[in-house]
Amino acid sequence: MPAELRFSRSDSRQSPPENAISGLRLAQWCASNGWPVHPLAPGRKTPAANCRDCADPGHTHIGCSCLRAGRWCHGFHAATLDYSRIEKWWTSNPAMGVGVACGPAGLVVIDIDVRTSELPSRERLLPGISVGDTVDLRGLRTGFHSLAVLAALRGEVSPADADSTLRVQTPSGGMHIWYRATDGRRWQCSTGSGKRALAWQVDVRGHGGYIVAPGTRTLAGTYRPLGVVRQPAPLPAWLAHELQRTGHLPAPRTSTPRTIPPRARQAVLAAGGGSDKTSRLLNALIADVAACAQVAEGAGFTEKLNRAAYSLGGLVAAGHLADSHAQEALREVALAARPGQEQRSAQIIRSGMAAGAKRPLHLGDRR
């Protein structure tokens, strides 16, 4: 096995074998650390596909037969610690890489990029922090530099230079810095928009995302661990404060009842088809989407709307609902939950119902 993947003798956790490293051995080692794993496409850093249904508009991990059958599908949603399943997956395709589901693993990973791009304005370099004109930005070119500026402003050592935690060099020259979340908070992934980035060219992997396991080989190169440390250290308090400041915690939940807007309620009643069971299911699906109105961000609106549309499409195909009334109910509740996003919501509804219509949903078979 490559020297950079060897463990120190003081590490009490299971190590990959000394003679070779493979996707299976690497996945087993990750699982031994309590990190749920899922396959990556051979030679790539993206999840491996499995079923043809995944290409259908509106198809999600919710109700996917692959997951129920123990097959990999939908990336980190399929991540597992089951050793027999892991052996089956990577034995069937040894070339697959290894992804780790950050949230279930209790991991927070700082992802530093080195993309070639124009330096942003000072107010966008560190989201939420004003970088004064006295700070010399000459030579600042990558996420390593912006993270170093943030650390310097806080009087801390840059995480990129912290040799007390697992650090992984990416094939592009960037770095993944692994930490353990120890306070029970569900740190969220960055959105990629910059609004929730930790710094310019510095993103975060947490709940709702995955990270490439150290030692994984891709066509671009190998994700190589640096130094001798092979375990994530606890997330430093100062970084936790910065992540909270930059919005990497879920929006607080409220106890407000899930109210369905009056016009949507009328459409629900019209769509119910006279069946109490159908009406209850329809109300539950609509109420899930309606609840998103109480939270501006992080409520899972897209997934909930897609799930409702998929289920309603199946109910319509089975003859339980009228298509026009079902669509009207979804449009009204989506408008109330996310005003100003009518076109996007309409597309989700159309694609979700079209996908659901391919599988008539008879009562008792809710996906």
For 234-259, what is each residue's pLDDT tens digit? 999 999 999 999 888 876 654 444 45
Q: Which of 184, 212, 246 is where one domain is finished?
A: 246
Residue 203 to residue 196: CA distance in whole angstroms: 8
Q: 91, exposed or middle or buried, with CB in 10 Å at 0-12, 13-18, 19+?
A: exposed
Statement to judge: residues 20 and 75 lie in one domain: yes
* Residues 349/354/356/357 CA torsion (nearest 10 deg): 130
Q: What's the rounded mean pLDDT across residues 80-90?
A: 90
Statement to judge: residues 74 and 200 lie in one domain: yes
Statement to judge: residues 128 and 93 lie in one domain: yes
The pLDDT confidence band at residue 89, using thresholds 50, 70 and 90, is very high
Statement to judge: residues 149 and 285 lie in one domain: no
Residue 38 to residue 164: CA distance in whole angstroms: 27
Statement to judge: residues 277 and 239 lie in one domain: no
pLDDT at 215: 92
Statement to judge: residues 293 and 232 lie in one domain: no
Q: What's the rounded mean pLDDT across residues 351-361?
A: 80
Answer with the residue of higher pLDDT: 56 or 205.
Answer: 205
**Residue 343 maps to a domain:** yes
Model confidence at 297: pLDDT above 70: no
Query: Could you tell me the residue range of the domain that residue 53 belongs to?
Result: 1-246
Beta 221-222 vs 217-218: how paired, if at all?
Answer: antiparallel
Number of domains in the chain: 2
**Residue 128 maps to a domain:** yes
Q: What's the rounded mean pLDDT across residues 185-192?
A: 80
The pLDDT confidence band at residue 227, using thresholds 50, 70 and 90, is very high
pTM over 0.75: no
